[in-house]
Amino acid sequence: MPRIGFWTIVLIFTWLLLFALLFIPVGSVLVSSLYDNAGNFTLGNYIKAIGDERIQRAFFNTLLVGFGGLAGALILGSIMAFCVSRFEITGGRFVSLLAIMALVSPPFIGAYSWIVLFGSAGIARTALKSIGINIPTIYGLSGILIVFSLKFYPYVYLMVSGALSNVNRSLEEAAEGLGLTPFQRAMKISFPLVLPALSAGGLLALIHAIADFGTPRLIGRGFNVLATEAFTLYSAEIGSNMSMATTISVILVLMSMVFVLMQRYMSRRNVYHGNMINKPHKIRLRGWKNVLAHFAVYAIGLAGAIPVIVAVIYSFRKTSGPVFQSGFALQSYERIVFGLGDVITNSLTFSVASVVLIVLIGTLIGCLVARRTTLNTSLLDGALMVPYVMPGIVIGIAFIAAFNTGPVVLTGTAAIIILSIFIRRLPYTVRTTSSALRQIGPNMEEAAISLGYSPFRAFLKVTVPLIVPGIIAGAMLSFVTAINELSSSLVLYVGRTMTMPVRIYLLILDGDFGTAAALSTILLLLSGTAVYIAFRFLGRNEQALL
Amino acid sequence: MAYLTVANATKRFGETFTALKDVSISVERGEFFTLLGPSGCGKTTLLRSIAGFNQLTSGSILIEGRDLGSVPPHKRDIGMVFQDYAVFPHLTVFDNVAFGLKARKVAKDEIARRVPQALDAVRLGALADRLPAAMSGGQQQRIGLARAMVINPQLLLMDEPLSNLDAKLRVELREEIRDIQKQIGIAAIYVTHDQEEALAISDRICVMSNGHIEQLGTPQQIYGNPQTLFVASFVGTINALQPGPALDGLLTTLGLAELAAAHANSKWVVRPENLVIAKVAAASGEPQATISGRIAKYTYLGREAHLQIRTDLGDLVVHVANPDRTSVQLEGDVTVAVARSAVLGFDADGKRIGG
């Protein structure tokens, strides 16, 4: 049968792809961390890393920002989720929009905007000082934690509000009938039911927090984490220490792997599929409770979206060189149009190219995983987990290590950036495709076959139209991730292949905030458009963003 | 020669599980043929084998003498209706029904003529331009039915088409399915686990369990003259008579003692509606017996009432029709009359004796 031949080719191709882009590069990172500069096998790098006070500190700092971000995201996210899904909040959709804005903006924009407001010469801080209130600058650990909490709370919010609106009201009414007070009811019924969502959302925040590079780099001021440490060691002009950088990468991967496995375990425990006959309804609060709920929701939503708002406003401010003047002008945009057009072109080309690759290959692999369940495909499913645990900075370093020399040299090309985005985002598409296919089930195709369509035509005529909206939406969300990617591109870029996030990062380091803000606004606009298109196809399914 | 013949069909899944064991059936042109049985009895496997979605391990399927063994499912020209409707959500009602006609390269104007006809037959004519997503289960299944019939298939297969619908709609739609099938005179095979539905809709019923045929016959034969204990208990309800001296006495009175003696460990049952609360059953000239007992429970159901009576033969349920018009005793001692033909005997293997 020709079809089996086709899928066998897909299977072989997928394994080749995974080996070439994942196992060999990442494997070589692992291996190179086990050799010293002279090429002899050694565990010395690990011993040195464990003994090195600086790396020890980075290790604990990573855990600190991870769990700090987790705690902040949990608090903000669950308050917002509870208020929005249980009370009537005026403008609830607008609040959700604010959360989505916080989610799709790259974290380093957040860091930068907070510096504008609360840095040493931050406007909010200066204003407060003028009325006699002295607050510390945002730099350091507290700043990172604030940024992470406000940046990652949407993970918790979207997960938990989804779970909360799926708790059958009858359960709570039953508890009420058994004599539980509202507080007891919340603690004994609602809380256990949303606990899996809560922990899964929290761990997502944690995973992103420990992998984040931009925020600690910009706002940390000497507060080092593993991601920044790996980058510093890699990029040091003199004495670049590749083997130590890879050693730290491996430690970071291991750490992230633990949490990803926990996250998957938690989301799999999300098994309370009650019947949805009795959907929960929202209560209209009165008096001070109503004010408090609205205040909480809007405060969190606006604080999370402040970076975006600041960036947009600052992009229109009049500048003289890198210095802001009073008044508004389009100078920053002019500078982009005349000087940085190629950066935008690069970003768009790379993102579109990788999304096209992701959609074509990811859909094919998704079909393979969903429809041909053998040992080989479930192994493949497992192997596709690997990119989930890879922080971008590690993929970047791994690609440099693998494609710098040897049979395929890709360093400095556009291909290496496209491929690094491709391999990181591929598993998401494979998963959405295969789960969409599993949902459709074979009956629909069988109906078409019984009506006279060959299996292949039935697939084209029935299954493909049904999964296409999901694929397009997935592609748009991949595009958002692709165009906002900083950490791997920062390692992989050369002058010709500079992307918008890299340029923004460098502009902020140079102190040219106006241009950075304008470029950020363009980036946000592109991301927002993609999210809008995705929602058009998915029907406003905010959980798909996770 | 029958229109559809399935001969010695056996289907094994893997090494160990045999879903069909040497099943043979034949269906006549225009016949409504039902496969009835509990889940896992092999009825759906047989249906899917006829459709071509399962390959038989051995055996053959013929339509008008043509072997379907090597014909792929999309060339079998068989209409199929699914339990979960399998209506294409991305197509309008019209396009759903036209789907099979397009595969057959039917001319546009003919499609425009035949689809509304089919939709009118299932009373969906007014909804042709709607998308099926927001429609009720009953409407979706009507689409499924119209879609399967509009192609004028050689055979119509229905896999528990009504089991996802609520009770009232189920009755309504099964009448419609029956009417339409008779109107166009197509041979139909219908799978269900609902015995009442099977009795109501079928020309012939094939009762299956564990991959083999228990009994094949008209609804009257299946219900009134079950050939195995399984059929007697699966189709309708039965009272099992407890073995012991009381049963021996009853069988002697009815002249069944010899038959019982000829079969060790025989089992005797009687349907609740064949027991009469009275000293004598309706005069019919056949041997009768009486059983005395005490009413343990009275259940009123409107058009009938169920009396649970504690007797030496165990608890017996007696159905009383139209309890409001007949004076029914609600408690106390009663006498139940039973005629010889109402008592069904089965041997140790569950095969009917003396039927």
From the CA of B169, how many Å to the nearest CA of chain A? 20
Contacts of B28 (CB under 8 A, 6+ apart): B2, B3, B187
Tens of pLDDT, residue by residue over B42-93, are 999 999 999 998 899 999 999 999 999 889 989 999 999 999 889 998 899 9
Tens of pLDDT, residue by residue over A280-327, are 677 788 888 889 989 999 999 998 888 888 888 888 888 777 777 777
pLDDT of residue A2: 43
B158 interfaces chain A, CB cutoff of 8 Å: no
Q: What percent of chain A has pLDDT over 90?
A: 10
CB contact under 8 A, A447 and B103: no
Q: Facing residues of B344 across strands? A: B269
CB contact under 8 A, B88 and A447: yes
Confidence of residue B148 (pLDDT cuts 50, 70, 90): very high
| DSSP state at residue B339 | E
B78 interfaces chain A, CB cutoff of 8 Å: yes
Confidence of residue A240 (pLDDT cuts 50, 70, 90): low
pLDDT of residue A103: 83
pLDDT above 50 (res A88): yes
pLDDT above 60 (res A4): no
Nearest CA in chain B to A453: B74
Nearest CA in chain A to B150: A451
Q: What percent of chain A has pLDDT over 70?
A: 92
Provide φ and ψ at B37, rounded to 5°.
175, 165
Chain position carrying tokens 């369509």:
A453
DSSP A214-257: HHHHHH-SS---HHHHHHHHHH-SSS--HHHHHHHHHHHHHHHH
CB contact under 8 A, B151 and A444: no
User: How far does chain A reach from its first CA to its final CA, in angstroms?
Assistant: 40
pTM: 0.73
CA dihedral A407, A412, A414, A419 (to 10 degrees): 50
For residue B53, give the nearest of A446, A451, A453 by CB distance: A446
What are the b/e assignments for A314-329, b being 16+ CB within 10 Å?
A: bbbbebeeeebeeeee
For residue B86, give the nearest of A447, A457, A461 by CB distance: A447
pLDDT of residue B283: 65
For residue A452, give the nearest of B86, B90, B104 by CB distance: B104
Average pLDDT (A52-73) is 90
pLDDT above 80 (res A204): yes
Identify whether the C-beta of residue A398 lies closer than 8 Å to the C-beta of residue A334.
Answer: no
Average pLDDT (B255-277) is 91
Q: What percent of chain B has pLDDT over 70?
A: 98
CA dihedral A472, A474, A477, A483 (to 10 degrees): -80
Chain A residue numbers with beta carbons less than 8 Å from the beta carbon of B103 are 451-453, 457
Identify whether the C-beta of residue B156 lies closer than 8 Å to the C-beta of residue B148.
Answer: yes
From the CA of A162, how many Å to the nearest CA of chain B? 23
Tens of pLDDT, residue by residue over A344-368, are 999 999 999 999 999 989 888 888 8
Identify whether the C-beta of residue B10 lies closer than 8 Å to the C-beta of residue B20.
Answer: yes
Q: Facing residues of B23 across strands? A: B9
pLDDT of residue B281: 63
Identify whether the C-beta of residue A203 lies closer than 8 Å to the C-beta of residue A155.
Answer: no
Average pLDDT (B303-318) is 93
DSSP B144-169: HHHHHHTT--SEEEEESTTTTS-HHH
Average pLDDT (A29-45) is 75
**Rg of chain A (C-alpha set):** 25
Confidence of residue A119 (pLDDT cuts 50, 70, 90): confident
For residue A466, give the nearest of B76, B78, B89 by CB distance: B89
Nearest CA in chain B to A457: B103
pLDDT of residue A3: 47
Q: What is the mean pLDDT of chain A?
A: 82
Chain position carrying tokens 């079998």:
B76
> d(Cα B352, Cα B268) in Å, to the nearest integer?
10
Average pLDDT (A326-355) is 86
The one-letter code for the residue type at A73 is A
> d(Cα A209, Cα A252) in Å, to the nearest integer?
12
Q: What is the mean pLDDT of chain B?
A: 91
From the CA of A270, how many Å to the nearest CA of chain B? 26
B62, B206, B345 from B213: Cα distances, Å: 19, 7, 20
A471 compared with A169, residue with greater pLDDT: A471
DSSP A505-540: HHHHHHT-HHHHHHHHHHHHHHHHHHHHHHHHHHTS
B147 interfaces chain A, CB cutoff of 8 Å: yes
Chain A residue numbers with beta carbons less than 8 Å from the beta carbon of B76 are 450
CB contact under 8 A, B99 and A451: yes
pLDDT of residue A25: 84
pLDDT above 90 (res B157): yes
Which candidate, A71, A69, A74, places its Cα nearest to that of A211? Answer: A69
Question: A450, A459, A462, A464: which to substitute to probe chain B, counting the most B Cβ within 10 Å?
Answer: A450
Average pLDDT (B99-105) is 91
pLDDT above 90 (res B211): yes
A167, A202, A281 from A186: Cα distances, Å: 11, 19, 15
Chain position carrying tokens 């502009």:
A507
Whether the complex's predicted ipTM is more than 0.85 is answered with no
pLDDT above 70 (res A276): no
pLDDT above 60 (res B15): yes
